[in-house]
Structure 1
Amino acid sequence: MLRQSLSAFFKFILVVFALVVLWQAVVSVFHLPRYILPAPLSVATRLWTGHAYLLSEALVTLREIIAGFAAGALFGAGSAFLLAGFPRFGRLVWPALIVLQSFPVFVIAPMLVLWFGFGITSKIVMTMIIVFFPVASNFADGLSRTDGAIVKAAHLDGAGHWQLLVLIRLPLAMPQLFSGLRIAAPLAPLGAVVGEWVGAAGGLGFVMVQANARMQSDTVFAAMFILALEAVLFRKAVDLAAPFFTRWSPHQ
């Protein structure tokens, strides 16, 4: 297991190294100006010289990601459970939710800033909206796909609708809920940054907008690098919860 992990890590490092070499080659061969595509060394230098500023803004974005993800996960899981508990109501609500999911986030973000202001609240709500749909749809799918033989046996044993939902369908749907959380984890940073792009006083999205206006592409790429690192680490943190959810798998 350790050998496989080390092998995967070294392969990842090799891929990153190859991409950096290709990046540097493109900049050198085509003599691209710094404001169009900065060299990897310029980005690394900016990360080093501006690390205090970039990390402080990264913490702002990270707070928005964590709060928005937690709220979106709770709201999504709770909504799926309630709609499964009241199936007639769910058949009316799900089409409306699908329509809302089709709205581009850039359309919603300005309204959220208008409603909730330039502070952290609008970014949390934006992140919550993006996280809500994958969590709700995956969990609802898990709740609706319980093995028919198990459902029939529960009914023969006298289980009612809510007993079946809480004691059988809910535990068996936990792996599906986890799948929704894993899908939503890398999307949460997107929600926070989109909210910051529209209007904010801090965060990595704010840094990107300000740097782009000044044609400081090295700062933009440095902020993007930190954001990508946050997304990867956040996804890994969510993966740590896998044993709790997968133990409810029907195969266990």
Structure 2
Amino acid sequence: MMKMKRFKGWRPAVVLLLFFFIWEIIVKKADIPEWLLPAPSTIMTEAITGFGSFSVHLLSTIKLGITGFAIGVGIGLFAAVLLYLLPFVREAVYPFLILSQNIPVIVLAPLLVIWFGFGLLPKMIVITLVCFFPVTIAALDGFKQTSADLKHYMKMAGATKSQLFWKLELPHALPSIFSGIKISATYSVMGAVISEWLGAKSGIGVYMTYASSSFRTDRVFVAIFAIMAISLLFFAAIVLLERILIRWRSKGAN
């Protein structure tokens, strides 16, 4: 069984390698210009030779993404707790929460520059808007899915509303909360790149802008693959943290 699981784990890698192989063959056989569609080997060569200059932009985006992600998750959790514990606030604010996600961030970005300038604040607002919503919705759903029988039992035992939340509702909502955090982790990189279009001096978004304006399509693909890699790393880190916390909670319960 263990060997079968390990074998299945290699399937996505095999499919990905096959995809790159077919891509390479088509570009070479069709003689497609590099500015239109570079071959994977060309992209890899550019990623290696140009890593020195690209690493500055990479680190800038990672720092921006992590900072915005932390702020977005914090605000998302705070909003979820507030809306859950205060039903009258939830009834008044929840529709506006939904409407906030119907405004394209790329359209809102120029307004943020007009209102707040080209500093760090508009960039944090963009990433926060992208990150907080999945956490808020997932946390709210997790709180609502707490077992009614357990809540009734704790109330019968004399538990206060605060004890009910911290001892029962919050621990049982952790899987749902982490589902929202994992989504936000992947969105944070996209939000960071979009925010860098607001006038940043460095970052993958800036790198992509320069590359596309000079028809360096190979560098654009380097940036795209870097964004995908960072998103996967963020996601993997949250999955690891989730396993640690859930395992710790399970041991504590036993």
- TM-score, normalization: structure 1? 0.91
The answer (yes or no) to whether the contact 2:69–2:188 under 8 Å persists in 1 is yes
Aligned to 2:79: 79
Task: Give SS of 1:241's match.
Answer: helix
Q: CA deviation at 1:219?
A: 0.8
Could you tell me which runs of 5 or more consecutive residues in structure 1 were left unpaired when the two chains were aligned: none
Aligned to 1:115: 115
Matches within 5 A, 1:80-95: 80-95=80-95
Distance 1:93 1:243, change over 3 A: same
Aligned to 1:23: 23
Q: CA deviation at 1:233?
A: 1.1
1:96 counterpart = 2:100: no
Aligned to 1:54: 54
Deviates more, 1:158-167 or 1:176-185: 158-167
Task: Give SS of 1:35's match.
Answer: coil
Deviates more, 1:162-171 or 1:134-143: 162-171
Aligned to 2:209: 209
Task: Give SS of 2:10's match.
Answer: helix
Q: Write the deviation string for residues 37-57 of structure 1: whole angstroms up to 9, x where unpaired.
A: 111121112111111111111
Aligned to 1:232: 232
Deviates more, 1:227-236 or 1:163-172: 163-172
Deviates more, 1:163-172 or 1:79-88: 163-172
- TM-score, normalization: structure 2? 0.90
Aligned length: 251
Matches within 5 A, 1:27-38: 27-38=27-38
**Residues in 2 aligned to 1:9 and 1:57: alpha-carbon distance in whole angstroms:** 32
Q: CA deviation at 1:90?
A: 1.2
Q: Write the deviation string for residues 175-198 of structure 1: whole angstroms up to 9, x where unpaired.
A: 111111112111111101111234
**Residues in 1 aligned to 2:244 and 2:86: alpha-carbon distance in whole angstroms:** 27
Matches within 5 A, 1:69-218: 69-218=69-218
**Residues in 2 aligned to 1:178 and 1:199: alpha-carbon distance in whole angstroms:** 32
Q: Write the deviation string for residues 144-201 of structure 1: whole angstroms up to 9, x where unpaired.
A: 1211111111222223333322222112111111111112111111101111234321
Q: CA deviation at 1:6?
A: 4.7
Could you tell me which runs of 5 or more consecutive residues in structure 2 were left unpaired when the two chains were aligned: none
Deviates more, 1:46-55 or 1:11-20: 11-20
The answer (yes or no) to whether the contact 1:118–1:201 under 8 Å persists in 2 is no
Q: CA deviation at 1:220?
A: 0.6
**Residues in 2 aligned to 1:229 and 1:25: alpha-carbon distance in whole angstroms:** 24
Q: CA deviation at 1:17?
A: 1.2
Equivalent position amino acid for 2:167 in 1: L
Q: CA deviation at 1:66?
A: 0.5
Deviates more, 1:24-33 or 1:43-52: 24-33
Q: CA deviation at 1:4?
A: 6.1
Q: CA deviation at 1:80?
A: 0.4
Distance 1:244 1:92, change over 3 A: farther
Deviates more, 1:129-138 or 1:168-177: 168-177
Q: Write the deviation string for residues 101-133 of structure 1: whole angstroms up to 9, x where unpaired.
A: 111111222223333433444323211211100
Distance 1:32 1:105, change over 3 A: same
Matches within 5 A, 1:235-250: 235-247=235-247, 248=249
Equivalent position amino acid for 1:185 in 2: A
The answer (yes or no) to whether the contact 2:75–2:132 under 8 Å persists in 1 is yes
